[in-house]
Each structure stands twice: as structure tokens, then as C-alpha cells.
Structure 1
Amino acid sequence: MKPGYIVAGALALGAAIAAYQFTTFGSADAQTAPAAGAALVQVVVPETLSPVAQIGKTGFDAICAACHGQNAAGRNGMGPPLIHKIYEPSHHGDESFQLAVQRGVRAHHWTFGNMPPVEGLTRADVVAIVGYVREMQRANGIN
């Protein structure tokens, strides 16, 4: 392979990565950055939810949405979106949500800081909330 092709290929790859980062994360220009507290991802909301997920949505809206945003879309500067492949069941199983509520979570995937334990939620509450999150994930192609 000629050296010129290697350099051209590397430049094209670098340009593609830069374009992807710009379109995915926005420019460094403060005018295009999402406002503090703004949703971090677009979420498709299913037309109907199961009875358990309806109960879970009520709990989520009351407790979790303050940080994780409406419909689990995350909030800029506050908390990550749960409608994200990082939280798919094969990576973060349902029990990881139980433990997060009981013990809190050290920041490890995102730069939002640590999540403190959440007082006042029972295991059954968290089961319903996870049911809601999982239905929302499936509606958004996260299985």
C-alpha cells in the first residue's frame, strides 16, 4: 500500500470522527450547548404502558425525574439518561437499579457525579420503576 493512501485514509477517518462528535455532542459554542437541565436524548414514548409500568411511571416522575429527566431522557448537568444502551438489561440488570437506590452509585459511566441512596422507596417501588424504564427502553430499541 502506498504511503499517500495511508495518510489520506487516516485524515478521512479523523474527519469522520470529528464530524460524528460534532453532530452527536454539539459544538463547543455555548449557544448550541443544551441548557442546564435540558433533556439529553430524544425519547419515543409508547402509546400504552402495562399496569406495572404505569405505577412505575408515577414513582419515577415523583422521585427519579428530578435528575434522570422526564421519560428518563436525562438532564444536562444533573443526571444521565436511562434510555441509553449503557442501561440495557445485559449491562445493568434490574438488581443494579435496586442497589443504586439502596446504596447509591459511584460515578463510573458519566461525569454527573455520584448518585446518593434514595430514601423512602421499597423494593416493590423499584420493581415498578424498573418496569417503566424497561418498557421505555424497549420502545426506543434498547433490549
Structure 2
Amino acid sequence: MKRYSKLLAIAAVALAVAFVVYLRRPSPAVVAQAGPPIVAVKVPALSAEEQKGEVAYRAYCTRCHGEDGAGQDGVAPPLVHPIYEPNHHGDQAFLLAAMNGARAHHWPFGDMPPVEGVKPADVADIVTYVRALQRANGIY
């Protein structure tokens, strides 16, 4: 019986330590402020449609992907980057990533979780904005 009591005590301590570590982890908002932009992004004059996408981008994407799709070192990749040009990552890829999350495959940032609360129409607007930024920065 003493053996089981020791095991139970060890398990309780391990559980308590794990719980404290869990509570002390950084919140997503803190993690999202971890690093500087990865790329410099030239922002063009935006059409009304692109401005609508900018508003949606700021609401759903800036926290991780940084201002104007420049990425954040240690957090998330830039969307204004040749990897995300339309022939490699089409508009549907953005929709699928936002709605379902995406497995890490080009960058060492880990998997992207689904974007909470985003609607397909929001993603379409965001893609319009990101594509305008890409074109202004020589990514076609």
C-alpha cells in the first residue's frame, strides 16, 4: 500500500507542476508580439475593395502575420513573399488555411490554427488586400 501512496504523491506533484507551467505560459497576444517584421512591405494606394480587405486583415491577421503582411520573426511568416504568390498558393489556399488551419510546411513557425470567427467573405476580402500588397512588391 505504501508503494501506491508514493506513486500517488509523485503523480499529484507532477500534475501540480504541469498545471503551474500551463498557467504561466504566455498568452497568444503576448506571443504574437514576439518579433520584428520579417520583410519590408511597400503599401500602395488601395481601392475601396482593397481597403475593405485591409480592415478585415487588421481584424483577423495582423496579430500573427504582422502589419501589412510583413510577418513577425518568431511568430508567423510574411504573406508578402514569393512563397504566397498566386500560382503557388492560390486564393483557395488562403481560405482553407483560415477556416481549417494549416500544417507547417514552408516555415519553422509551427502549424497555423484556424482563425476564430473569420467568415469566407472576410477571407475573400483579405485575399484581395494581400494580392494588392503582393503586386505592389513585385510578387505576381
Counterpart of 1:44? 42
Counterpart of 2:78? 81
* 1:1-49 Cα shifts (integer Å, max 9, x gaps): xxxxxxxxxxxxxxxxxxxxxxxxxxxxxxxxxx942000011111x11
Give the drift of 1:62. Answer: 1.5
- Tell me, yes or no, if structure 1 residue 136 matches structure 2 residue 133: yes
TM-score (norm 1): 0.73
Q: Structure 2: any 5+ residue segments left out of the alignment?
A: 1-32
Counterpart of 2:8? none
Q: Which of these residues, 52, 56, 60, is aligned with residue 63 of structure 1?
A: 60
CA distance in 2, matches of 1:50, 1:124: 17
The DSSP-based 3-state class of the residue aligned with 1:80 is coil
CA RMSD of aligned residues (A): 1.2
Larger radius of gyration: 2
Question: For residues 16-27 of structure 1, what are the structure 2 equivalents within 5 Å?
Answer: none
The DSSP-based 3-state class of the residue aligned with 2:61 is helix
CA distance in 2, matches of 1:62, 1:132: 13
Counterpart of 2:117? 120
Counterpart of 1:91? 88
CA distance in 2, matches of 1:57, 1:37: 21
Counterpart of 1:13? none
CA distance in 1, matches of 2:93, 2:38: 22
Count residues in correspondence.
108
- Tell me, yes or no, if structure 1 residue 105 matches structure 2 residue 102: yes
The residue type equivalent to 2:97 in the other structure is A
